[in-house]
Chain A
């Protein structure tokens, strides 16, 4: 955009270079997984994947595919580093995070390689901001080994009705119990809090449910504190796919549409709560 030609000559030194007209396409997706300060960023020719983990039990991945950027160059098979996500988001939204019609912030993101800071150049209405964020040594991230072949139950539904259920979750409950079954009540979310229990039932023939593939009854509990952050992704999303594999691991995939109608995915994995005492209700 308004970046000088001289700079573009320097661009050769970067292993990763990405340009984007509207920074919100990236910042909103990153917000959906922003429940921990530190994130690991993986860049590949496919695009960016940003991973956030908590308690070795939950993992959130945001995928920003290469097509979201109008310019995306990567010189290596894979580039990865850890970065402070809070700071990254603050920089990306330095011109404000709310959408103002007709005004968009453009972004140029550069990374020169191992040990180098991530450089951001943001421009809005001729105002330039240069940011340099230190990168950290990448750690290994969790591998949940969640294979679609092991998935026992799967539902795809519109996010709308889940949003309400999730935003009203009784946080005095330790766990969120998810029941998926080919028989009634089909799909049930339960909490067991101080004031009693709460169940939300979603019938499989509801017009909110787009796909219902449940093969056997499964009742699993997940720490509510681990799942609660996924509300951020849920509120942004249009559809959600809920999958549970044979080990009780939960995968939540959110389809998020941005203002230009492009689709990105955010994915949450969560391990089941260990001490599942014989589940009632």
Chain B
């Protein structure tokens, strides 16, 4: 407390202080450029284990995150008060958290406008947060002693987090950027989506033309990629995933410039595809793109999946009606989104997500016993979903103590639990080491969306959350943003709820399971 007061009346309060060495400035600049091709706002979050830059596109069907590890920097201080003046450390920790903020992508882009000159002239780049002036400061120290200081206005916000998993995806490809760039070059510039088809014996990439008024009148491009050219291929489920080319190009632009291989992890249509780039320990990038939920593909895939793969992976199938329904409810979700502020979102999204699942489960139920079997698996999937969130707690929350004080939000009530799965997952995710905990995420990939949030939690917020929770369930909230992309929910809330849901899971496993069954 004392420490805090002293600093606020005297010196400028600076949170976070990072110095990027000249050799890495190009990578950082490229990352910003790549992010700028996806979203219009840049979320900057200094974390203990690195500086996170994230963005989400306007339709929330694509999410990108760069995490620059402390080793990427010449000097790294996340501003949580743990590295500055050791004496004041303990006092600070309780009340101050690291700041999350967002800035306009455009303004950040002006800092890193020309990657070429950056590389040539910048010797180091300092990044600081000035809390007095509410400015995010980029200071470029260039050759000849020239210093360029950019004071960018920022808005404090909640963390932007897509909940996704990549490590248990049945399908995984790893290729050089070059290979994928060459492949993608063959598509026309105005091509919106491409379909990636993987089968044990072949990998195809073709342009998606089914949304054309007359598919016979457009150019069809189909590329067969030689499996030998990939660094690594793992195909667990035959699948066809359709995703936006624009975002993929953003990823490739970065990967090509940095000359790093790209890993693609995906499941089936309708489930997000994750592109990741990993540079030893210096930084990692994850791009999560929604894939198109296509009836035809879905059905085919699910039938294949049933015969071939383990039970766990089959929950993905979606029938046409459920997609429609979720699209409809998307609107209602959006409305309620805009209605509220505070920490409510995640919970709501969570329930939205779950409802969606309920729906896709319910409809099939009316149709065939086979579908019913699937609904059971869906239950398992749902429980995995909850576990997913826990990982994010580990990843992004420095405010655990604070959050755990909150009442358990009803969201967790929606969790349908199949105990066994949970048990195992919980153990793995319980690891406090963030980077590793992420590795253990379950294969369900709900992405949670929410608006940037006000930082402080008040009791009001919590109440609101509960209310909205209920509302939301009545609305049968659903999915996704643009087109027929299935929903990706991005949560700034990840931490809050996940924390509580974790608690819920540990305490009330059996009860929760019953709840959900009733609903179904």
Chain A residues in the interface with B (C-beta under 8 A): 161, 164-165, 168, 170, 185, 193-203, 205-208
Contacts and interface: CB of A to CB of B under 8 A. Distances in A.
Given A195-B152, A196-B107, A168 B147 contact: no
Contacts of B104: 194-195
Nearest to A199: B149
B420 interface: no
Contacts of A199: 147-149, 151
Interface string B126-157: 00000000011000001011111111110000
A197 B137 CA distance: 10
B144 A208 contact: yes
Given A196-B107, A206-B144, A206-B145, A164 B121 contact: yes
5 contacts: A164-B121, A195-B103, A196-B150, A198-B148, A208-B146
Contacts of A202: 144-146
A195 B106 contact: yes
Nearest to A186: B145
A168 B146 CA distance: 14
A203 B135 CA distance: 24
Given A195-B103, A195-B152, A161 B144 contact: yes
Given A164-B117, A168-B110, A168-B113, A198 B150 contact: yes
Interface extent on B, as a size class? 20 to 34
A179 B152 CA distance: 21
Contacts of B107: 193-196
B147 A196 contact: no
Nearest to B106: A195
A170 B153 CA distance: 14
Contact of B147 (A164, A193, A197, A201): A201
A185 to B, nearest CB: 8
Contacts of A196: 107, 135-136, 150-153
Nearest to A209: B144
Contact of B148 (A193, A200, A208): A200
A168 B150 CA distance: 12
Contacts of B106: 195
B55 to A, nearest CB: 16
For B103, B117, B121, B146, the residue with the greatest tally of chain A CB atoms inside 10 Å of its CB is: B146
Contacts of B113: 168
Contact of A161 (B110, B146, B149): B146
Contacts, number: 61
B142 to A, nearest CB: 8
Nearest to B154: A196
B151 A198 contact: yes
Contacts of A194: 104, 107
B146 A201 contact: yes
Q: 4 shortest A-B CB distances, which residue pairs?
A: A195-B107, A196-B152, A203-B145, A201-B147
A110 to B, nearest CB: 45
Nearest to A169: B110
B144 A207 contact: yes
Interface string B65-106: 000000000000000000000000000000000000001101
B110 A195 contact: yes
B117 to A, nearest CB: 6
Given A196-B152, A203-B147, 11 more contacts: A168-B110, A194-B104, A195-B153, A196-B135, A196-B136, A198-B148, A198-B149, A200-B148, A203-B146, A206-B144, A208-B144
Given A195-B103, A195-B104, A201 B149 contact: yes
A200 B145 contact: no
Interface string B160-201: 000000000000000000000000000000000000000000
A26 to B, nearest CB: 31
Contacts of B117: 164
Interface string B474-485: 000000000000
A12 to B, nearest CB: 54
A164 B148 CA distance: 11
Contacts of A200: 146-149
Contacts of A197: 150-151
Contacts of B147: 185, 199-201, 203
A256 B151 CA distance: 34
A30 B430 CA distance: 71
A129 B152 CA distance: 54
A247 to B, nearest CB: 28
Contact of A201 (B121, B148, B151): B148
Contacts of A205: 145
A165 B144 CA distance: 13
Contacts of B136: 196
A241 to B, nearest CB: 18
Contacts of A208: 144, 146
Nearest to B139: A199
Contacts of A165: 146, 148
A169 B252 CA distance: 29
Nearest to B109: A195
A201 B117 CA distance: 17
Nearest to A157: B144
A196 B144 CA distance: 25
A146 to B, nearest CB: 27
A198 B110 CA distance: 10
B122 to A, nearest CB: 11
Nearest to B135: A196
Nearest to A197: B151
Contacts of A195: 103-104, 106-107, 110, 152-153
Contacts of A161: 142, 144, 146
A139 B380 CA distance: 85
A165 B146 CA distance: 10
A202 B106 CA distance: 25
Contacts of A201: 146-149
B155 to A, nearest CB: 12
Contacts of A185: 147
A66 B134 CA distance: 57
A206 B146 CA distance: 8
Interface in B471-507: none
